[in-house]
Structures are given as structure tokens and as C-alpha cells.
Amino acid sequence: MTPPLDPPPDPDDGQDEPTQGTIQPASAGAMTALVVLGIVIGWTYHRVAVALFGTAPLVTWAPPAVLALVGVSLLVTARATHRQVHVRRQRLEAHRAVNRLALGRAATYVGALVGGGYLGYAISWLGVPSEAATQRLVLSGLAALAAVVVVAGGILLERACRVPEDDSDA
């Protein structure tokens, strides 16, 4: 017969008050690293595609348009969240706050990587004298700018989710 197992220790033992958890804002260092990684990938992608397929891919209007749409959607959501939480002082349901916080953080990091990728692809076309190169350069540059809007929207949405300081003490 096996001896009875001890119950697992209670994690709340010895704590009189609950702990306050905090989430740090999106890291500027991580965003910078993602942009640099994206630039390297975008610049390299041009060379690898030409080596493997004989031609580099075209960039259409779809990437800048979709990135701009996502960026504007994030900005609208950030504004609505800020007004609800900070201006009207209404409580945001916990699951909605977490979802918006996660969306803002993910958009910030993915926008930085994608923007860097399009910037790197645009840089790879500098100095290439052809109409197709100019088109790739311009549309990749526009996609990179639209990705900046995604990053800005993500940062603002993340900040809008911050719980305001309780000013009832004043």
C-alpha cells in the first residue's frame, strides 16, 4: 500500500493581500530589433528570389492598402478605448481589456517586422534604373509607411488599456 500524498502547497499561504501584477509597455529594443530583422529579410528576399526564380516579386497596391486599413482600425479602437477608460472613467470588462492589450502588443511587433521587411525590399531597389524597379520601390515604401501606422495604432491601443490611477485619494 502506498502512503497518502501530501496536498500541494497553497500558493496564497502567507500572503495577507493580493499582489498587483503589471505589464510593461512594448519594448523599444524589441521593436528596433524586429525592424532591423525585417530590413535584412526584405533586402535578402530580393536577392534570393532573383537567384531562385529569375525575377523578383511585384508589389501591388494590396499590401499598403491592407496595412493602412489595419492601422486605421487600430487607431479607431485605441481612441474608443481611451475615451471609455480615461475620459468617461468607465470600466472595461477584463476579457476585453486583455484582448485589446494583446492585439495592441501583437500589432506593434508584427507591424515593426512587416514594415522593416517592406523597407528592406524597397531599399534593395534603390539605384536600379527601370520602371518596374521604381514601382516596387514606391509600393514597398508605401507599405512600410502603412506599417508605421499599424505600429502607432498598436502602441496607442496598448496605452489606452492602462488602468488609470485612482484619484479618489486626492
55 assigned to some structural domain: yes
Query: Is there a domain that residue 14 lies in?
Result: no
The C-alpha cell 497596391 sits at: 61
CA–CA separation, 169 and 121 (whole Å): 54
Residue 90 lies in a domain: yes
57 domain-assigned: yes
**19 within a domain of the structure (yes/no):** no
Task: Check: pTM over 0.85? Answer yes or no.
Answer: no
Q: Which domain holds residue 150?
A: 29-162
Label residue 163 by pLDDT band (50, 70, 90): confident
- Tell me the pLDDT tens digit for each residue of 82-131: 999 888 888 888 888 889 999 999 999 999 999 999 999 999 999 988 99
- Positive/negative CA dihedral, 149, 151, 153, 156: negative
Number of domains in the chain: 1
Res 159 pLDDT > 50? yes
Q: Could you tell me if residue 167 is inside a domain? A: no
Residue 147's closest CA among 75, 31, 37, 64?
64
pLDDT at 169: 43
State pLDDT tens for residues 7-23.
555 555 555 555 566 77
Mean pLDDT taken over the chain: 87
Residue keyed to cell 485605441: 78
* 3 occurs within a structural domain: no
More confident residue, 36 or 129: 36
